[in-house]
């Protein structure tokens, strides 16, 4: 999806005007952060899990991958890696060649 969408107010949020569908906002400051031209766009096809962090000085996203249990040091123990996606301004989607893996282990909690 590359169309522009505006944030919407969550039903449990304080009374302030909703501006439309697309993002669920719990606080008016969140709406101010998104702005009126917020949009959803496919950035890259990858195995991202959670925790994306944008570093403006690098124009890059860092994130962890989905937990995996195959090819692990201890069989059956989940692990993940940290990936870096070098962005290209607002040009989306980004070519997969711009993905790299950081040489840092991710310790997964076990049940």
Q: What is the DSSP string of 45-58?
A: -S-EEEEEEEETTT
- The pLDDT tens digits of the residues spanning 81-111 come to 899 999 988 888 999 999 999 988 777 765 5
Same domain, 72 and 102: yes
Residue 71's contacts (CB-CB under 8 Å, 6 or more residues apart) are none
60 and 94 inside one domain:
yes
Q: What is the pLDDT of residues 2-50, one digit of tens each?
A: 344 444 444 554 444 444 456 777 888 877 877 777 777 888 988 888 7
**Contacts of residue 30, Cβ cutoff 8 Å, sequence gap at least 6:** 7
Q: Are residues 100 and 67 in the same domain?
A: yes
| Domains identified in the chain, total number | 2
Evaluate whether 63 touches 44 at the Cβ level (below 8 Å).
no
* pTM of structure: 0.65
Q: Are residues 16 and 52 in the same domain?
A: no
Judge if 30 and 64 occupy the same domain: no
Q: How far apart are CA 63 and CA 83, in angstroms?
A: 6
Residue 53 belongs to domain spanning: 48-107
Q: What is the token pair recorded at 74?
A: 């201890």
- Pair 81, 35 in one domain: no
Query: 34 and 74 share a domain?
Result: no
- Examine the domain organization and report whether 55 and 102 are in the same domain: yes
Segment (H or E) for 29: helix 28-34
């Amino acid at each position: 999806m590359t169309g522009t969408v505006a944030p919407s107010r969550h039903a449990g949020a304080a009374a302030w005007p909703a501006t439309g569908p697309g993002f669920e906002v719990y606080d008016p400051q969140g709406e101010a952060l998104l702005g009126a031209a917020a949009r959803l766009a496919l950035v890259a096809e990858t195995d991202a899990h959670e925790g994306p962090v944008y570093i403006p000085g690098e124009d890059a996203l860092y994130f962890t991958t989905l937990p995996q249990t195959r090819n692990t040091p201890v069989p059956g123990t989940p692990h993940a890696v940290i990936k870096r996606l070098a962005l290209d301004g607002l040009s989306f989607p980004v070519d997969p060649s711009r993905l790299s893996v950081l040489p840092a282990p991710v310790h997964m909690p076990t049940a």
